[in-house]
Structure 1
Amino acid sequence: MQKIAIDIGYGDTKVVTKDQQFKFASAIEKKREAMADYGSAQEDVYEYGGKKYTVGDKALANAVSTRGFNFLVKYSPLIIYHAIKKAGLNTKEPIHIVTGLSIVNWNEKEHFIEAIKTININDEVIKPKIKLMAQGQGIFYDYKGDKNGIVCIVDIGYNTFDFLVFEDGDPRPDLSFATKKGANVVITELQTKIKKKFNADITEQMAKDIFTTGYFMNYGEKIDLTDEIEDAKIDYTDFILDEMKSQRSDLLRSATKVIFSGGGAYFLEGAKLPKNVDFSEKPYEFANARGYYEKG
């Protein structure tokens, strides 16, 4: 059976198969009717529910908002189908999908599974075998260092901040928590600044792209935003550390290991951190997908 691990983030979707790993923006754009079709490419465009959508990096300019669990329920079939196509899997043969869900939304896991158990796109019907893990579990399985005793996983995603606890390899849900204060806090702040300073109505996905590249194109002029972005990173790092200490101070003190990962872990590089802190292997954002694939 073909196996694929898909970590559907609110910012990017990370994919791992037997011989490849890649990511693409979790961006969805509903295709509009054009005044004239003059040979435009229809790459990454799919028909779903009687409508056509562009998925991934080509959908950044007019992407729908990715924040909120309803986005996952509504558009995960499109994102999964896009991942399967990009991975080159044969849709006529059985597919095993290993994916994850933040514990912020864990009580809705049945709703999520129901949404992806049958994928009907482009007149193709895929009924995959599905394995669902808690977001952060993949990071635990991916980490190759000492995992005896109490291990805390700090998974900083785009829209979620998940803090998972394991004791001698077993999950401790009673000690774990999650919030919706992911890296989007920084991205939306940058989005607001650009709108205010340049009167530019950019999407959240475009702001994420600007955050990554460090500049904003304004009528052909390349505006350097490096300083603003670095200041935002520092502020967010302070927020994350304060949040952890306020929620689980004693646990952090006694933990064998505190492992930072997810795309937001890059913010903490260079910060002064306790001796029991470590990072997952790079690229950090693929740690969940790597772990999903290994244990799926």
Structure 2
Amino acid sequence: MSKEIKSTIIDLGNINVKFIGDNKGKFSSKITNDYQSYEEGFQRIEYNGTKTYIGIGELSREFNKADRDYMAQLLYGIGKANTADTTETNLTLLLPIIQMKNKAKLVAALKEKTFNFKFNREDRSIKINDLLVLPEGYASYYSLDIEDRKGDVCILDIGSRTINICVLENGKIAKTNTIKLGSFDFYSKIKAIENAKGEDFTEEDVQRLIDNGLIKIESKQYIEFLGDILNLVKPYVNLKTYNTIFTGGTSLMLKDYITKLPLSKFKIHQNAETSNVDGALEAAKKVWSNGNKQQ
């Protein structure tokens, strides 16, 4: 009997990377290749002679995830998700719905490739046996309970750079779309307001400063941002006619205002931040338990 290949799920998010394997968790998408005099104090990956430090530096401004310099984050995520004795894995990645046309780039770069790298101080060698790429938003459908999957469902996956719309009618996809708007745009607006007062903040600073009370956000600013989201969604789907599931990290940021919307049937996903990786894990089980291999 051939041994079962492990499955690793990685969501290369714009603000956080989420992962599931032997372990489950997340880490900041900030990276830097700048020299650090005390490298042992940082999480790091070394690949092809380049050291990349994780959790410090800057977020990527590249919108297209397949064109982003993602390798350090991916290998670090695989390292975090799996035990040191893991030598091969099937891998599931996620792309915004509108970027699924770039799936082939990821397949060519990763499928059936072996990667030798240093995870902090440990030498690792992992082969990506097979690769599954799923659309964000739709992946969350597989994380829903049976009751929430019934009838006509609209999943609104509100992330840091995109809103992924996935409409399913009786379990079948009826329409999908991606809108370029997310919490990063909100942070950019707040940054501009604060810097007009003489500050010198970046988008990376904003949420930390909000959490620490150094930037005060008024309710009307969140309400206006939610209004912007709904106005952009409106041409694609009438939310009043669907069981609407709000998910993604930005839906948690706006939860106090989403819950007051005049919709007939809606909810915020109970695991909104991880619904895509949770659903991707269930979808991957269905694919690989049947012995299928992605083309």
**What interval of TM-score do these two structures reach, taking the shorter chain for normalisation?**
0.7 to 0.9
Does 2:143 match 1:142? yes
- Alignment partner of 2:10: what SS? strand
Residue 98 of structure 1 aligns with which residue?
92
| Equivalent of residue 245 in structure 2, options 256, 259, 266 | 259
Answer whether contact 1:3 1:96 (CA < 8 A) is retained. yes
Task: Give the secondary structure class of the aligned counterpart of 2:141.
Answer: helix
Alpha-carbon offset, residue 42 of structure 1: 5.2
Alignment of 1:182-201 (within 5 A): 182-200=182-200
Q: Report the alpha carbon displacement of residue 241 of structure 1 after superposing the two structures with TM.
A: 1.8
**Equivalents in 2 of 1:265, 1:134: separation in Å?**
18
Residues in 2 aligned to 1:287 and 1:163: alpha-carbon distance in whole angstroms:
14
2:223 partner SS = helix
* 2:268 is aligned with 1:279: yes
Aligned runs of 1:103-182 on 2, under 5 Å? 103-117=97-111, 118=113, 119-122=115-118, 124-128=124-128, 129-144=130-145, 145-172=147-174, 175-182=175-182
Structure-1 residue corresponding to 2:290 = none
Deviations 1:71-119 (A, max 9, x none): 6534322112111222343364221222211112111111133333344
Conserved? CA contact 1:259–1:277, under 8 Å: yes
- Indicate the residue corresponding to 2:10 in structure 1: 6
Q: Are the equivalent residues in 2 in contact too, given 1:237–1:268 (CA < 8 A)?
A: no
Partner AA of 1:147 in structure 2: R
2:20 to 10, 16, 19: 16
Matched, 1:65 2:60: yes
Report if the CA contact (8 A) 2:157-2:247 is conserved.
Answer: yes
Cα distance change of structure 1 residues 236 and 91 upon mapping to structure 2, 3 Å threshold: farther
The 8 Å contact of residues 4 and 98 in structure 1, kept in 2 or not, is answered as: yes
- TM-score with structure 1 length normalisation? 0.81
3-state secondary structure, aligned to 2:236: helix
Separation (CA, whole Å) in 2 of partners of 1:98 and 1:134: 11
* 2:228 match: secondary structure: helix
Equivalences, count: 269
Q: SS at 2:281's partner residue? A: helix
In the alignment, what sits opposite 1:219? none
Question: Quick one: structure 1 residues 40 and 184, their matched pair in 2 at CA, closer, same or farther if it must change by over 3 Å?
Answer: closer
Instruction: Return 5+ residue gaps in structure 2 as ranges.
Output: 285-295
Q: What's the CA shift for 1:133?
A: 0.7
1:204 equivalenced with 2:206 (yes/no) = no
Q: CA deviation at 1:124?
A: 4.7
Distance 1:3 1:46 in 2: 21
CA distance in 2, matches of 1:136, 1:260: 10
Q: In the alignment, does 2:63 pair up with 1:54?
A: no
Counterpart residue type for residue 126 of structure 1? I
CA contact (8 A) 1:142 1:287 kept: yes
Native 8 Å contact 1:141 1:291 kept in 2 = yes
* 1:141–1:295 Cα contact (<8 Å) kept: yes
Asked if 2 retains the 8 angstrom alpha-carbon contact of 1:159 and 1:183, the reply is yes
Which one has more relative contact order, counting CA pairs under 8 Å at least 6 apart?
Answer: 1
Bigger proportion of residues as helix: 1
Contact 2:156 2:246 in 1 (8 A): yes
Could you report, residue by residue, the CA deviation over 1:184-207 in whole angstroms, capped at 9, with x for unpaired residues?
Answer: 11011122233332431x443233
User: Is the Cα–Cα contact under 8 Å of residues 164 and 178 in structure 2 kept in the other structure?
Assistant: yes
The alignment's C-alpha RMSD in Å is 2.4
The answer on whether the counterparts of 2:240 and 2:264 sit within 8 Å (CA) in structure 1 is no
- For residues 139 and 189 of structure 2, what CA distance do their matches in structure 1 show? 29
CA separation of 1:74 and 1:244: change in aligned 2, threshold 3 A: closer
